[in-house]
Amino acid sequence: MFCPNMFLVNADQMSTSRPGRNLRRFHIAVAKLVPKAVDFWHGGSAWRLGPLLLGQIVVFFVVFFAVQSEYASNVSKMPFTSFPVAQFAQFVSMSAGFALVVFVAARYFPGAASGGILQTIAALNKAASKK
């Protein structure tokens, strides 16, 4: 039987008792509580607590990615707001980035003419089968 006061001992009792006795009591108490916790979880509380835990994890990631997107947006604006021809620089950088993406797609994924995932996978499989 688990008694919550079994761990509360004063210094006199500690010095006269055997050194491993309290540790053994603790292990026995844990060994009795773990199966009860597992039974509680398997007894249907997973269906009650699981969605709550999952919801907290999802909210954490939503907030995390929202903060990171704000940071990325502010960082990407910095070079274009620091000199007078900012609009021209944005146009040039976006056009150069798009041209780079088109070049990489045409060079390394020739079978992905329409740019979909299925076409890209097919092009990779086709290139792998030729090797």
Q: What are the CA-CA distances from residue 112 to residues 45, 56, 100, 105, 121 (Å)?
A: 48, 39, 16, 7, 8
pLDDT tens for each residue of 2-49: 455 555 555 555 555 555 666 677 777 777 777 877 777 677 776 777
Q: What are the residue boundaries of the structural domains of the chain, listed by start?
A: 84-131
Torsion of CA 86, 88, 94, 96, to 10 degrees: -120
Q: What is the mean pLDDT of residues 88-93?
A: 78
Query: What totals of helices (H) and strands (E) does the chain contain, helices first?
Result: 5, 0
Q: How far apart are CA 110 and CA 121, in angstroms?
A: 11
Q: How far apart are CA 33 and CA 6, in angstroms?
A: 15
The first and second tokens of residue 80, run together, are 């274009």
Give the closest residue to 121 by CA, choosing from 109, 105, 106, 107.
Answer: 109
The first and second tokens of residue 99, run together, are 């041209």
Q: How far apart are CA 57 and CA 52, in angstroms?
A: 9
DSSP 82: S
Give the closest residue to 112 by CA, choosing from 101, 129, 98.
Answer: 101
Examine the pLDDT at 89 and tell me if it is beyond 80.
Answer: no
Indicate yes or no: pTM above 0.85. no
Confidence of residue 131 (pLDDT cuts 50, 70, 90): low
